[in-house]
Amino acid sequence: MNPPERVLIAEDDNVMRLILEKHLSNWGYAAVTVKDGEEALREMEGEEPPRLMLLDWEMPRVDGVEVCRRLRARDNSDPPYIIMVTAKDNAGDMVTCLDAGASDCIRKPFDRDELLARMRVGERTLQLQAQLNEARRKMTQLAMYDALTGIYNRRAAGERLEQELARFRRGGSPLHVGLADLDHFKAVNDQHGHQTGDAVITAFVQGVRSVMRSSDVIGRWGGEEFLIIAPDSATHPNPLFDRILEHTRTLEAPAGEAGVAVRFTVSIGTACAESGETMDDFLLRTDKALYRAKDEGRDRICHAEPGPVKTQTTKPPMPKN
C-alpha cells in the first residue's frame, strides 16, 4: 500500500491551520504544517519535499506570492502543485497569484468539497507530470545508451570524448583512448547464434567495467567494437588496456541450451591525445593501431604512433573481425 500523499500547509493563522490539517487527515493526506513563508521554503528544500502545497497569501517574513516566485525560479523537473488560499477576492489578485506561479487559487472562506476537488485535480496533474518525466527519462535512455549493454551508444560516447578532449585542450591531464574489437566475433555468431554473440558482448562489457576506474568510460562504438576513454592518467601507455586484455582472456559466455562455455579475446588500439589534434585525427590514429593489432595476430594491444597518420595505399587493411 502506498503511503499517503504529503501536503504542506503554510498558514500563520492557528485556527485555519488546524482546520486545514483536520480536513486533510480526514481525506487521507499526511499534513506537514508551517507558520510562514520562510519555514515553507526550508521545508521544500528537503530531500523529499511535499508535492502538494496549500499556501496562504498573507504570512509574516515571506508571503505566499514570494514563496511561489522563489519555488518556480528553481530548476526543477518535478515542481510542486501549489494551491494559494487567500481572502483576496478580486480578479487582479487572482492574476497576480497565478502569474507568481501558483497552480490554482481558492478564496477564504472556502467550501470543503471544493477544496477537496481542487486537491484531487492537483494529484491528477502531478501523476501526469510524473508520467511525462518517466517518458522523458526513457527517451534519454534510448538516445544515449546501448539497449543490450546499458553503456553509452556511439553518439553519446562521441559526445563524451569531445568533452574530454576540450578539457585536455584547456590544460588537463593526459587523455588516453582505446578502440577494442572482439576477435573472430562473426565466427561466434555463425557457430553459436546471435544470442550467444549477445552474451559475449555483455560478458565483455561487464569485464571491462570490473577493471575500470570510476572516471573511465566505455561506449559501444559498433557491433563488437567499443570506445574506451581513460582521462587523467599520467602513465603512458595506460595500464587500463593491459588489464582489459588480460581480464578478457579469463572471461566466458554460455552458448545455447547445452551451456557450453565460449571463450574469446579482444584486440585493442590505443592513442594518447596530442595538442592541436582534432577528434577525427585522434580516432584515426587509434583505429590504425587497432588494425595493426588485428594484422599482427589479434589478442594484443598496439599503441598509436605520435603525429599525423601516414597515408598507406600499397595494402588495404584487413577486416577487423
Q: What is the pLDDT along the chain (321 residues), one digit of tens a residue?
A: 678 889 999 999 999 999 999 999 999 999 999 999 999 999 999 888 999 999 999 898 899 999 999 999 887 878 999 999 988 878 888 899 899 999 999 998 889 999 999 999 999 999 999 999 999 888 888 889 999 999 999 999 999 999 999 999 988 789 999 999 999 999 999 988 899 999 999 999 999 999 999 999 999 999 999 999 999 877 777 899 999 999 999 999 988 766 678 999 999 999 999 988 999 999 999 999 999 999 999 999 999 988 776 544 334 455 566
**28 Ramachandran zone, left/alpha/beta (phi>0; psi -120 to 50):** left
The single residue of 224, 257, 274, 277 carrying the catalytic annotation is 224
Stated length of the chain:
321
Cα distances from 31 to residues 25, 45, 71, in angstroms, run 7, 17, 19
**257 Ramachandran zone, left/alpha/beta (phi>0; psi -120 to 50):** alpha
Measured from the Cβ of residue 231, the count of other Cβ atoms closer than 10 Å reads 23
- Kindly report the CATH number that applies to the domain delimited by 6-144: 3.40.50.2300
Specify the 3-state DSSP secondary structure of 232. coil
Contact present, 273 and 296 (Cβ < 8 Å): no
Q: How deeply is 301 buried, as exposed, middle or buried, from its count of CB atoms within 10 A (0-12, 13-18, 19+)?
A: buried
Residues of the chain within CATH 3.40.50.2300 domain(s) are 6-144
**Stated pTM of the model:** 0.65
Rounded Cα distance, 253 and 259, in Å = 9
Q: What type of residue is 316?
A: P
Cα distances from 129 to residues 9, 126, 279, in angstroms, run 22, 5, 39
Q: What type of residue is 287?
A: D
Residues of the chain within CATH 3.30.70.270 domain(s) are 154-303
Identify whether 224 is a catalytic site residue. Answer: yes
Cell of 244: 582489459
Domain 154-303 matching CATH 3.30.70.270: the answer reads: yes
Rounded Cα distance, 304 and 3, in Å = 58
Cα distances from 29 to residues 25, 37, 157, 220, in angstroms, run 5, 21, 45, 47
* β pairing state of 225-231 and 175-182: antiparallel
